[in-house]
Amino acid sequence: MQTPLQLDVQGSVSLPGLRSLVEERISSLETRFGRITACRVAIRGPSGHHRTGGLLSVSIYIALPEGLEVTINRTSQDDERFADPAFAIADAFKRARRQLQDNVRKLQGKVKGSSRAPIGTVARLDHERGFGIIESSDGREIYFPENSVLNSGFARLRLGDRVSYHETEGEKGPRASTIKPLRKHGMR
């Protein structure tokens, strides 16, 4: 790696050999995709003020010489496996590997650009405050307001529903609009 690994551990995260585990994952990516020029990994564990119930959040930023960059922010609100640092790190690096694969294929011209709307999964809903979060296929979280769901369908959305959407950049990050639930005929 061109620059040293930047590892930031916050909260009560304990795993013997945490740094070496992260370095092994980075080494595996370098073997597969070539030299990594920069890598930042932030692991946030629970503290007294967290509402995640002991679950970890892992963020990864990776840069390669070809101008490829990958950013992963991985947190699970309801998957107890994310209480285990080794699992949370493995999951985040798996998603980083997938994003790198997709980007390399695009650079090599092996994947044609698609005009189809991306598909994601409804990860969180707040019916009282009128918003939700979609988890994209690459693991990113995308905010959407109630009025972004087509045909006034916000009230019918459920956790785990698959949706197509259009993504834009909002003031505070990615934002979804034109959300269409993907259901088979005769359901709900």
Q: What is the pLDDT of residues 33-62, one digit of tens each?
A: 888 889 999 998 876 554 545 788 899 999
**147-167 mean pLDDT:** 91
What's 118's DSSP letter?
P
Pair of tokens at residue 6? 């930047």
C-alpha closest to that of 62 among 33, 84, 85 = 33
Residue 186, pLDDT score: 47
Q: What is the arithmetic mean of pLDDT over 108-117?
A: 63
Q: What's the pLDDT at 52?
A: 47
Q: Which two tokens stand for residue 24?
A: 């092994």
- Rounded CA separation 150/117 (Å): 14
- What structural domains does the chain harbor? 6-107 (3.30.160.100), 119-181 (2.40.50.140)
Q: What is the pLDDT of residues 58-74, one digit of tens each?
A: 999 998 877 778 888 88
* φ, ψ (nearest 5 deg) of residue 80: -60, -20
**Integer Cα distance of 187 and 171 in angstroms:** 35
**Comparing 139 with 103, which gets the higher pLDDT?**
139
- Output the CA torsion sign for 75, 78, 81, 84: positive
pLDDT given at position 184: 56
pTM of this structure: 0.57
Q: Between residues 86 and 187, which one has the greater pLDDT?
A: 86
Query: By three-state DSSP, how is residue 188 classified?
Result: coil
pLDDT exceeds cutoff 80 at 175:
yes
3-state secondary structure (DSSP) of residue 5: coil
